[in-house]
Amino acid sequence: MSSLVVIGAQWGDEGKGKLVDYLTVNADLVVRFQGGNNAGHTLVVNGETTKLSLVPSGVLHSKTKCAIGAGVVINPEVFLSEVNKLKEAGVAVDPSRLVIDGRAHLILPYHVAVDQAREEKKGDKKIGTTGRGIGPAYEDAAARCGVQLSELRDLPRLLQRLEGVIAERNLYINKVLGVDKTVTLSEVEGVLKRVAPLILPFMADVSYLVHEASLREEKIVFEGAQGTLLDKNFGTIPFVTSSHTIAGAVSTGVGVSPKIVGHVLGVAKAYSTRVGSGPFPSEIFGELADKLRTVGGEFGTVTGRSRRIGWFDAVGMRYAARVNGITSLALTKLDVLSNIPKIKVCVGYNGITDEGLFLNNLENIEPNYIELDGWEGDISKAQKLHHLPQTAQVYLSSLEELCGIPISMISVGAERDATIFSNQASFIKGFIQ
């Protein structure tokens, strides 16, 4: 089968953007299926950095078509500004190669206002959301009062419906949350009138397009956002995002059969990071955490926040392997771990190694570690597994054994070329040819 899904196997920010960019070199189609502009994908090609949050990461390959499925929440102004930035950079992004499903829900100013007011009210109990209105937009979709892209075709009718919705949101912000912020109907009307003529040409039936592409045996990459441990059902609730981030979300987020996915590529960093609040069993602090944060550039693409740092968590990874059915793992940022004498890997919590622990409260648990030898020097030029120092190779094989999944790709730098394939990469190699 010629399709693969790329999903985050940790708490997001695993470096999926770089991999999707790499894997779409010869792909026909790349499809986003969940999340919104809470995601941030950084691509570095020939020294040029491109940051995207909604437009799929394969956009830099002119022959690859890009689609955004119904499961994604779209801030229309953000989408249009990304399109403009890409155009300015000389990338072709017209509706002939970039489309959004008409069923996708929109993020409007009152969603952003609710998200931010709620976090303000929660104080130190906040989730640490990206403040982009993601949760409130998904809530409206579930409550059947959201706004779908296709509704922009009849603005008078939509505005009539929104009058009551906006009044309710303002009451909630002012009276329940006690925050002094009001979003007016005319403000929303202004946004909708401005964006409708610009975004509607991008509207399509992505479910149908992807189905047809798969019948033609085209190469399709499904691009996940965030990570498994932020999934709204299977993550560390309540410190999660509001969508399903696991591989199964391809089906519900695009409107295609789950049988469409041929290979589930999990992406994980060689260590762990997390942005925002919530349990993080293998978290580390102090000098070493600061060093990894600086060397790894661990600051959010979307919010600029410092990321929390931790050792690789094999318990979490076994859990991610199970709930996603990960076929192989792409391990990123191995170069960031260079020049650390001893590297730890979390193998259990409170002496228990069962990954079913992710059902429990992880706040007050004690991580158990094994310690492996580190390596010295710059590994970013390594092209083959055997170019890596022996101890780095042992680190990789230990992770494979501890997590029970093969590592097919290893990323040793931000550039496209700084990627090593293992002998477990036959599907992936065939896919990019």
Does 18 participate in binding ligand IMP (rule CB under 6 A)? no
Closest-CB residue for ligand IMP? 276
Task: For residue 421, give both structure tokens.
Answer: 């394939």
Q: Which is nearer to ligand IMP, 40 or 413 (CB)?
A: 40
Does 38 participate in binding ligand IMP (rule CB under 6 A)? yes
Task: For residue 51, give both structure tokens.
Answer: 């940051």
Query: Going residue by residue from 115 to 154, which x/- string records binding to ligand IMP, judged by CB under 6 A?
Result: ------------xxxx-x-xx-------------------
- Considering CB under 6 A, how many residues would be counted as binding ligand IMP? 20
Among 57, 64, 214, 241, which residue interacts with ligand IMP (rule: CB under 6 A)? 241
Among 67, 210, 230, 289, which residue interacts with ligand IMP (rule: CB under 6 A)? 230
Does 13 participate in binding ligand IMP (rule CB under 6 A)? yes
Determine the Cα–Cα distance for residues 96 and 91; give it in Å rounded to an integer. 13
Considering the complex, what minimum distance in angstroms separates the CB of residue 172 from ligand IMP? 17
Q: Which residues of 98-130 are buried (b: 16+ CB within 10 A; e: fewer)?
A: bbbbbbbbbbbbbbbbbbbbbbeeeeeeebbbb
Determine the Cα–Cα distance for residues 241 and 336; give it in Å rounded to an integer. 27
Q: Which of residues 40-59 bind ligand IMP (CB under 6 A)?
A: 40
Query: Going residue by residue from 209 to 228, which x/- string records binding to ligand IMP, judged by CB under 6 A?
Result: ----------------xx--
Catalytic residue among 21, 28, 41, 263: 41
In sequence order, the 6+-apart residues with CB closer than 8 A to the CB of 329 are 9, 265, 266, 267, 268, 317, 321, 399, 400, 403, 405, 406, 407, 408
Determine the Cα–Cα distance for residues 324 and 247; give it in Å rounded to an integer. 5
Classify residue 95 as exposed, middle or buried by CB count within 10 Å of its CB (0-12, 13-18, 19+): middle
Place of tokens 């391809």: 250
Does 244 participate in binding ligand IMP (rule CB under 6 A)? no
| 13 is known as an active-site residue | yes
Task: For residue 400, give both structure tokens.
Answer: 């494979």
Determine the Cα–Cα distance for residues 415 and 299; give it in Å rounded to an integer. 18
| 41 is known as an active-site residue | yes
Q: Which is nearer to ligand IMP, 275 or 357 (CB)?
A: 275
Q: Which is nearer to ligand IMP, 118 or 263 (CB)?
A: 118
Among 275, 309, 337, 343, which residue interacts with ligand IMP (rule: CB under 6 A)? 275
- Enumerate the active-site residues: 13, 41
Using CB under 6 A, list all residues that contact ligand IMP. 12-13, 38-40, 127-130, 132, 134-135, 225-226, 230, 239, 241-242, 275-276
